[in-house]
Every structure is written in C-alpha cells, then in structure tokens.
Amino acid sequence: MNRHERRRQKKNNKLNQTINQDLLEGIKFHTNKNYIKAEALYNKVLSSEPANYEAIRHLGILYQDLEQYEKAYNYFLQALKVNPKGFQALSNLATIHMENKNYELAHKCLSQSFKINSSYVPTINNLAGYYHKINDPKNAIHYSQLSIKIQPGNPIALDQYAKALIINNRPEEAIDILEKLNKNFPDNDNFKHNLSTAYREVGEFKKANKISSEGFKNDYKNIAYLLGYTKDKKNKLKEEHINYYDHLLAEKELKSEDKTLICHSFFEYFKNQSDYKKAGSYLTKGNNAQYALKEFNLESEKKFFNKLKSIFSKKIDFEFECKINKQIPIFVCGMPRSGTTLCEQILSSHSKITGAGELDYLAEVLNFRLIQPTENQINNLESIIKNQDSLKTAREQYLDKLSKRDKGDSIYICDKMPHNFIFIGLIKLILPEAKIIFCKRDPIDNCFSLYSHKFVEVSHQYSYNQKMLVQYYKLHQDLMKFWFEKHADDIFILDNEELVNNQETVSKKLIEHCELEWEEQCLDFHKNKRQVRTASIEQVRKPINNKSIGAWKKYEDYLSEMLSELKS
C-alpha cells in the first residue's frame, strides 16, 4: 500500500468513525425524544453516506414515532432497497401495516424477518403482538415465551407475555408481571394501561380506575387514559380538557381510531353526566368514523346464512355415539349484547360448571371466520359437513381443546361465543350431548346496546351503522327461526327481560336445563370472581337491575334510522 492509499484509507476510517458517532448520537437524542436533533444527525449521516441502512431505518422509526406513517413507510422501503435482507426494516415495516390494520401484510413481513433471523427479539415481540391483535392465544403465548427465553429480562417481551396471559384466561399471572414492570418502569404508559386492563378483567375496578385517573391527571393529552377516566362517574372533565379534544376532533389528520376513541369516551362521560343530547351527538359522530374504517358486506352474510339453511334443510344421516366425556360443553349464544355474559356468569357460579368465556375453538377447528367468512371457508365448511371423518375430527379436536379449560371437577364448560348461533345445526350434529342456550332481549334494546358499545378492532363493523345493524339483526332472527323449527326442544331460550323481572325462577329453569341441582350462589353471580373479557365486564359484577331496559329512549333523536328500520 503506497502513501496515497494509506492516506485515503485513514481519511475513510476517520469519516466512518464520524458517521458512526453521528448515528449513535442521533439514536441517543431519538431515545430521549429530542426528535429535531435526532433528525438532523440522521440526515447528516445520509449526506455523507446516502445508502446508510441504519440511518435510513432510524429516520423511518423517528417519523413513525411522530405519527407520520407515510414518511416512515417510505423510509423502511428505502432501507430494504439498500439491504433486501434487512430483517430489522422488515419488522419495522410490519408495524406500519399493523397500524393500518393490514394484518396479512404485517404477518408476511414478520414471517420473512423471522426466517432471516429467528433470534431477533423485536421481530419476535412483534409476532407476539400480532397474534394478540388477532386474538390467537396459542401463538401469542408461544412467541412471547420465545422472546423471554432469548432475553429473560426484556421488558417488552414480558409485557407481551402478560398480554398473552390475559387472552389465555390467566389474568392473575399477568397482573404479577405487570405490577413488577410498573414498579421498575413507572413512566411507561403502555405498562400502566395493560395493568389497568388486567385489573378490570378480574373485577378490580378501583385499581383500574386509579391508574386511569392518575395518568389522566398527570397528562390529560395522553389519549390512552381518556376512556378509563371518563367511564368513572366520580371524575369530572374541565373545560380545557373538552376544548382540547374537540379541537383534536376537528383536525383532518386525526386518525380514525383516535377519533372513535375520543367520541366514545365523551359519549360515556356525558351519559354519566345525564347530558344525553351531547352524549348522543358524540355517539353518532364516533360510530360514523368507526364504520368508515371498513364497510360491512351484508350481501355476503345473506348468501352465507342462506347457504347454511340450504345445507341443513337436507337430511344428514351421520350420528355420533354420545360418549359422555368428563366435560360437556354448554354453548351460550345469541347476538352480542343480548345477555350472554350474564348467562355465563350465572351458570359458572354453579359448582359443576366452569365458565371459559368466549372461545373460538369451534371456528378454529373448522378454519372458519364467524363474521364475514371467505367463500373458500364457506365451501370448506360444506365439505366438512358432508364428510363423516371430517366431522369426527372436528368433534375430537374441539373436545380436546375444551378439556384443557377444566378447573376442577366440573361436569360442564361454558363456551360463550355469541356468534356460535350460526353453528347450531353443526353443534347438534357433532356434539349432540351439548347444551345450547340462546340469549335474546328486546330488539331495540339489543340493537342500541350494540350501537353504543365500542368493540375491539373491526370485529363487529355492522354495529356502527344503524341501517346495517338492524338488517344484520334481522338476518340473525331469520336464521334462529330456522334452527328453532328443527331443534326447538333442544334450545333453551333465555329472555333477558324475563330474567331481570323474575331472576330466581328463570335462573332455576336455566340450571334445570343443564340437568343439575339448584345452588343458591347462582343468584349471587355478581360475587363470582372469574375473568370476564367482554363489553359487559362491569354489569355482571353487580346484582341484576333493569337500568338497560329502554335505555335507548334517552337517545331517540339520534336513532331515527335504527327505529325506522326496526319497524319496517
């Protein structure tokens, strides 16, 4: 190497050292949320080395932190052009797809990242988060445990594991982990929010409300605390709080998810303040924003329901020998918000019944989506119904999954997935020993309760549009009429109004339907400390009351389309 080459190499080494120092300094500023200085340093690196993978990627992360998602997305793509096997950028890109609810693309990016580097903890954490988002308990636990195995003290991995425990009906374990995380990281809002959720699911509302109230009082602009704060009747919003969020609602750049959260929070708040005019206004505004996220295809549901009736109108000559297993399923179904959670809470207060919550086991063994199934899924379901071996496999797989939910000497285990009402014909076919309970309530009360609740993600999109909601409700009524004509003697109808007005008599009939002796604690269902993961989480912790009957009348001026559609 001659003198000129040595000089050039020395100069390059010095330049590379400067670039690395600038990048590390930029990351340091970024971590401390000094975004302006971080951005300047990242761009300084790129001015010297335009194809610097890490600088490009970290600019993407910076813009993502600033909620400039389109910019972030473009930088992650640019990073992948520089380094096509950049597993870090693939993981980053997946988080943008998750933000935009493009879950298939998110999973594709995460799978590719994991394939390139199966030990990269951020990707594994994101996979755990992805499976939590789509409510896949088994995989959420698997990936969070894998992450902890690689980095036992990683706080994000522990948080993901705690969230996975919650959806696996192990909230006490989740609370232990989250309490420790909150002690070690007292300024982390995500850990606080997740602990509040865990407390709420086991009925510890005072602890949950305390977290939300303290968080909101410390920083009322942090939207994560808004709903928890406004749901607590003791809390009051100041004019500056209302003005701040009203101003946010007027901004065009506000994400639809944030808009629906703010509106739903204000609906809850003004409902608690008995200002039903303001509450109704925020309710309709929030639901319009939520429905705009994804329209509901009613025609595909009509075709599917008609297909079900066509399949089960024909004689099916398959019969299963009823070998009574240790656990017999009780299917509690009906429209959401029809009283299914209350029904399960009463049943699970009995010593011989375990309440397992909303299980997706039947849909899982059938590889089927309960709402808006694909054409392939519908065709596959028909093939299963026409094949005795496939039916036998579905039965065995379902019962095997159910058996893992036993918590002692239970005879029955409740599967309270409301939309299992679509599977009643199939349940009678493959699980003839099962008990089926159909929950119903006054149509207007049921529809209003659906319309006034914020469900997870886009799981019940039909409920945010008044006309669509009623049309779907009528589809459900029509299908239930079909099932009753075929299986009237095997379906117990639990009428919500009858239960409210005559709790003991109806509760005794419910237990009698399950062929069990009556137990007095079934009247004190609200003392049952089992985990509840539905929108009725607070109602079932209180004695039966009639407050929800006719609640819609307070908002009648905002429900004209719904009321008109129900009368037609």
Residue 416, in any domain of the structure: yes
- Most confident of the ranges 224-228, 265-269, 409-413, 544-548: 265-269
- Only one residue has tokens 């969020």, namely 245
Phi-psi region of 81 (alpha: psi -120 to 50; beta: other; left: phi over 0): alpha
pLDDT value, residue 535: 46
pLDDT digits (tens, 9 = 90+) for 32-90: 989 999 999 999 989 989 999 999 999 999 999 998 999 999 999 999 999 999 999 99
pLDDT digit string (tens) for 208-221? 989 999 999 999 99
Q: Are residues 201 and 302 in the same domain?
A: no
Q: Give the pLDDT band of residue 100 (cuts 50, 70, 90).
A: confident
**CA separation, residue 3 to residues 6, 8, 13, 14, 17 (Å):** 5, 9, 15, 17, 21
Residues 444, 536: one domain?
Answer: yes
194 within a domain of the structure (yes/no): yes
In the three-class reduction of DSSP (H, G, I as helix; E, B as strand; rest coil), residue 438 is classed as strand
Is residue 266 domain-resident? no
CA pair distance 454, 264, nearest whole angstrom: 7
Residue that is last in its domain, among 222, 245, 260:
222
pLDDT, one tens digit per residue, over 350-383 is 999 988 888 889 998 999 988 999 999 999 999 9
| pLDDT (average), residues 463-484 | 97
d(Cα 207, Cα 186) in Å, to the nearest integer? 16
Mean pLDDT computed over 413-440: 95
Give a yes or no: residue 32 inside a domain.
yes
Residue 134 counted as domain residue: yes
Residue of 80, 82, 61 lying closest to 72 (CA atoms): 61
Q: Within a domain: residue 292? A: no
Q: Are 158 and 44 found together in one domain?
A: yes
**Of the residues 207, 222, 237, the one at which a domain ends:** 222
CB-based burial label for 139 (10 Å; 0-12, 13-18, 19+): middle
* 223 vs 216: CA distance, rounded Å: 8
What is the spatial distance between Cα 168 and Cα 199, in angstroms, rounded to a whole number?
15
Same domain, 351 and 208: no
pLDDT score at 551: 92
Residue range 1-23, pLDDT digits in tens: 555 544 555 444 554 666 789 89
The predicted model scores a pTM of 0.80
Interacting residues of 102 by C-beta distance below 8 A, sequence separation 6+? none
Structural domain of 558: 298-306+326-567
182-197 pLDDT per residue, tens: 999 998 989 998 999 8
CATH at residue 369: 3.40.50.300
CATH of the domain at 216: 1.25.40.10
User: Count of domains in the chain?
Assistant: 2
Residue 261 lies in a domain: no
191 and 302 both lie in a single domain: no
Determine the average pLDDT of the residues in 293-299: 91
Out of 203, 222, 241, pick the residue that ends a domain. Answer: 222
